[in-house]
Structure 1
Amino acid sequence: MKLTIETFKDGESEGRFQCRIVETTEHYLCIDYPVNEQTGRTTLLLDGSEFNVSYIGDDGNVYQFTSEIKGRKKLKIPVLLMLKPSKYELQKIQRREYVRVDVSLDVAIKPKSSDLPPLITRTLDISGGGLAVVDDEKHKGYKPGDVMEATIVLPYNSNHYSYFIADVELIRLIEAKNQEPAKITYQFLKLNEKQRDQIIKYCFEKQLEQRRKING
């Protein structure tokens, strides 16, 4: 299982890391050395280091808990001993299908099985299940059920950009109304593990960022 670790200093996020659980014991999660998302380098967290941990459960929900490093151990590879949470310490964030964030991202959508022109636009919102984009209102011949390829630029909090590419199916064409622009909604089709992790991680980051702004 993949874990995301976020460390804090003076109440501010200090760093984010990715690691995997190598083994579990009664009291500990044995994890490989975390990789810093910004630098791509492995990091040795010191004994007593406290941090937040999040992961995607088998049920598709995002969970988080706080933990700390209690030591290290040599298995087939060197591992760190992370204090194992009890089931009462796990906090369910929200099902990934419904983690929707309002955000403007550059996106290019290209029909896969026709000579129809691509749509270069921006998102209105995005989630683990799909996205809504601004329609340029130029007649392109799109219709519900069309399968397309979407390329989205995802800017992460660690100051790097990632290109998310996935097949999407057009669900609805919605006309402009009042102050809202015309828009098109799409759902993602058959995301693989890497794609799913990519989009959920981004939505989760934005959700936490918006929550911090609301809470001051």
Structure 2
Amino acid sequence: MTSPEPHPTAAEYWQNRYLENVRSWSGKVNTALEREVGGVTPGTALDLGSGEGGDALWLARNGWRVTAVDIAPAALAIGAAAQQLGDAITWVAADLSEWNPPIEYDLVTACFLHSTVDLPRERILRRAAEAVAPGGMLLVVGHSGVPHWVDSPADCHHGAGHLPTPEEVLASLFDDNPRLSLADWAVVTKELVERQATGPDGTIGPIVDCVLALRRVVTAE
């Protein structure tokens, strides 16, 4: 009797995906990030699940010093090859389920941090919020509905019965969380935004983004 093929780890899955595709995404900045961060004074930024670096490259071009973290070295190599900004971006290959931000940042972004293999998304996002410096900004962008290029929520987020609303993302950050209090944050954006998007297969169609942007309040000593 032949033994079943072992399932790849998350690191193996994503590394193989990027190795099999010359480019999986457009290389352009995510629309929500450009809209929400375009007028923000640049500082230090942490880009979680950076993929091929479209957001990190845009941030660096706009004056940010970026740490871009992704589980797939092959994805980071694509972004690094496109970098023309000296040391403005630090590329870090790490599993976000285990990696801890070493410092606080003026901006922490997690755009489309979905996975077709197991991913502790809520735990990663709570850790992301903890890494925002006072006065800094947290931006979480995700799919609110099934993108037109996939068949079901499980095809873009492992085990998903549905994809969370902005209100559900907000609750997941602060409910029953002794380390963070919503009272210490100002909600900048909490909405669903429809746009036209090009999928990895080249098809164009409408898509709805779940956008949550928060600013950490600077408290007086």
Name the TM-score, length of structure 2 as normaliser.
Answer: 0.20
Higher helix proportion (structure 1 or 2) = 2
Higher strand proportion (structure 1 or 2) = 1
Greater CA radius of gyration, 1 or 2? 1
By relative contact order (CA 8 Å, sep 6+), the higher-ranking structure is: 2
Name the TM-score, length of structure 1 as normaliser.
Answer: 0.20
